[in-house]
Every structure is written in structure tokens, then in C-alpha cells.
Structure 1
Amino acid sequence: MNQRRPVVVVLAAGRGQRFRGEGHKLEQVLGEDTVLAHTLRQALGSGLSMLVVTSSALAPMVRRHVASRDMLVLPDQDRLGRPAPLGMGHSIAAGVAATGDAPGWLILPADMPMLRSSTLQAVAQALENDPIAYAQYRGRRGHPVAFSAELFSELAALQGDEGARRLLARYPAQAVEVDDPGVLIDVDTVEDLQRLRADPSQPRPSDLGIRTN
């Protein structure tokens, strides 16, 4: 693992319940590849270390793009045989705990296919000066959101669908203005996918804040 730069934790374990189309949202075709493939390509292109947190159901799709050493497959059940949680907070905590010796983490949802490698690099660099940094496009906050190693304990304690929004309220955060509308574009619904296929350069009008929970 690269000890000098933060790790990109790609969140690819969610069920995608808001997507009412056929199949999972991450396997939908966009251009010549899938939503997931586009996101992973940009993460790999950043030159940063990467860990993809995924579920057993989505693991075969992830393995087509990354090595097993760069994956963390969450269990389907806990130690008592109960269904394991798959919320964003749980995925963040698992990814951070698995890379605990990293100097920081960039949290990147896997359904953001238009985000650029250069944005990941810019946010990673900003993390050298503040405990939290996030990408911003024309004054509108987006992903990735980055956290320094000093926040390890709080990140590793996240559970269920609890995200990291409360950390943004408690610690100084640096906005990194980038010329990249992809920081605001995700694929949550069939309508999002259709809009992106029609005009991949435009975020939704409703994309006004960081999706951290």
C-alpha cells in the first residue's frame, strides 16, 4: 500500500434500491462500458491506492475490473447468522478499518462515472492541510470527500446507513474547486441514467450537497 498518499475507498456494496430498472445500477451500460467500470477507471487513473468495498452479490462484477487484493467483500451475515448491514456508514467503516495504516481516505460512491482522475488527485493533495477535504464544482459540494488519518476512530465506528456528515460539521473542511461537473453526477435512478446518456456533462438540478449518508 502507498504509505504517502490516501486510499480511495470505492463504495460498491449498496443494493441500489432507488434504481427501478432491470439489473443493478452499477452494471448499467453507459457509452461503451458500465457505470462501475467508468468509476473504477477514473479511480485507477488517479494513481492512488484503491480499495473497493462490495457485497458478495456484486463481487463477481467488481472482479472483472480489479484484483482481489484491492477488494473487500462484506459478509452476508454477522457472527450470529443475522443479515449483515450494507449501509453507507458500514461500508465506510469497513473500508477504513481494512486500510488502517493509510494517511487518509477518499470516499467515492461507485455510481459516479463522470468524475475525473484529476479531481481525485486534487482532493488528495488538499488533505495534507486539513482533516477533511471535498470536491466542489461552481460552489456546489460533491464527491469525493476525503478524511485524514486523525479521524480513523470516528470513521471506523460508523454503522448502518449513518454517513460522515456529522464529521463535516465538527472539523475544518477544505473545499477544492474543480472544473469537473462529475463531482455532482451520480446514478441513483433510471431517470438519472437516461439523463446522463442524453447529456453526460450536466448534473441534476437537485444535486446540491454532499451525499454522505
Structure 2
Amino acid sequence: MLAAGSSQRFGSDKRRAPLASGHSMLQAAMARALDAFGQLTLVLREGDDPAALGVPAGVQVLFNPHGERGMASSLVLGVQHLLQGDAEVLAVLLADMPCLQQSTLQAVIAASDPEHIVQPQFQGRGGHPVLFGRRFWPELLALEGDVGARSVVRASAEYVKVLTVVDPGVCLDIDEPSALATLAPSI
């Protein structure tokens, strides 16, 4: 889960933004990911205090010393970490997407394998999480700047499994405080 951004458009640390449920945005996103995946690696800014952010025990935390270089630096750090293990698929999750439905997460997990990319789609729009089979990790390691992995998805289109879902949460990232008002009270 990528959580090392600067929240410039939000105007404050959106990871701490309180939701109606009483949890912060980051806590809600982590809880959904942990429920679905059972394990989570979280990329934070260098100097962040995981306890102050409400990171639960058992979540692996990586600190990005190059966060100012943009999203790609966090993604590369996460991929480098996972390469040390035997994982076959990685899910790119964003900390500002607390509305993902468990059924969506279970569906993308079920469709994933080491040779494909899985992306949920809602009303014709691609969303998150995107799951990358290990075959595509070298391309992820080559990313630079403030970009995600969209270029890898486009370049590997014949290996992309698109899952049409009824979950608007796959396209709902919270970039401005006004977006918090659109969230369901249960979030």
C-alpha cells in the first residue's frame, strides 16, 4: 500500500483524515486490505511514525527515503522488498482509497496469477487495486517520477485481465477534503 505521498491537493495529511466510522482514511484502507489479503506492506514517508498513524501490528512498514521523487519511488521500493520473498503477485493499493468492497478485492485476488495483470473496472474506468504477476515486476522496477504503473498496464495490454465490477470504490481516491462528504456513513 502506497502511503508516502505529500497530500498537496488535500492541504493536510489526508492519511489522518477522520472518516464517519471514527477511523482515519489510512486505517480504513489498511483494514480492508488486511481483511482481503491477510498481509500488507505499507510504504510510508521517511520520518513517519507508524504508531501515530494507527498502523496495526503485523503490517510490514517500509520508509521511502526518496518520497519527493514521486509515486514511482514508493512502488519501486515495495517491489524491491517483495522480490526478496516468494510472492507471485503484488497488489498496488493506495492509502487514499478506503471504499473498496471486499467482494471486489476477493475477485481480483481470485483472478490473479504470476503471468497476468488484473485490473478492476467500474463503468468503463480502470481502477485499483491493480494486481501484477511477478512476470511484470522488472517493468515496475524501471518506473520513475510521479507516475503509477499505468504505462506497464498499457504496454502489456494482451496480459491484462479486466474485471468489470459494481464497486465505485475502485475509482474513488480522496484527493480533496470535499470528497470526504461523498463517502457512505459506514466508511
Task: Give TM-score, length-normalised by structure 1.
Answer: 0.76
Structure 1 residue 50 and structure 2 residue 40: aligned?
A: yes
Structure 1 residue 115 and structure 2 residue 100: aligned?
A: yes
**Residue 86 to residue 52, structure 1, CA distance change in 2 (3 Å):** farther
Which residue does the alignment assign to 1:27? 16
Q: Which amino acid aligns with 2:88?
A: P
1:154-174 per-position Cα deviation (integer Å, ceiling 9, x unaligned): 112222313211111111211
Which residue does the alignment assign to 1:4? none
SS of match in other structure, 1:109: coil
1:85-139 per-position Cα deviation (integer Å, ceiling 9, x unaligned): 3411111110011011310111011000111233222112212285211111233
Q: Is the 8 A contact 2:100 2:170 kept in 1?
A: yes
Alignment of 1:73-92 (within 5 A): 73-75=63-65, 85-92=68-75
**Residue 47 to residue 145, structure 1, CA distance change in 2 (3 Å):** closer
**Residue 197 to residue 179, structure 1, CA distance change in 2 (3 Å):** closer
Deviates more, 1:95-104 or 1:118-127: 118-127
Structure 1 residue 40 and structure 2 residue 30: aligned?
A: yes
Gaps of at least 5 residues in structure 1 are 1-9, 76-82, 201-213
* Aligned residue pairs, count: 182
Q: Is the 8 A contact 1:59 1:73 kept in 2?
A: no
Q: Which amino acid aligns with 1:121?
A: Q
**Residue 199 to residue 98, structure 1, CA distance change in 2 (3 Å):** closer
Which residue does the alignment assign to 1:158? 143
1:34-75 per-position Cα deviation (integer Å, ceiling 9, x unaligned): 111110010011034210011134333576223366111122
SS of match in other structure, 1:147: strand
**Residue 54 to residue 138, structure 1, CA distance change in 2 (3 Å):** same
Q: Is the 8 A contact 1:130 1:174 kept in 2?
A: no
Counterpart of 1:17 (choices 4, 8, 12) is: 8
Distance in 1 of aligned mates of 2:129 and 2:64: 22
Which residue does the alignment assign to 2:172? 185
CA RMSD of the aligned region, Å? 2.3
Deviates more, 1:121-130 or 1:34-43: 121-130
Alignment of 1:59-208 (within 5 A): 59-60=49-50, 64-67=54-57, 70-75=60-65, 85-100=68-83, 101-128=86-113, 131-171=116-156, 172-196=159-183
Higher helix share: 2
Percent identical pairs in the alignment equals 35
Distance in 2 of aligned mates of 1:93 and 1:165: 14
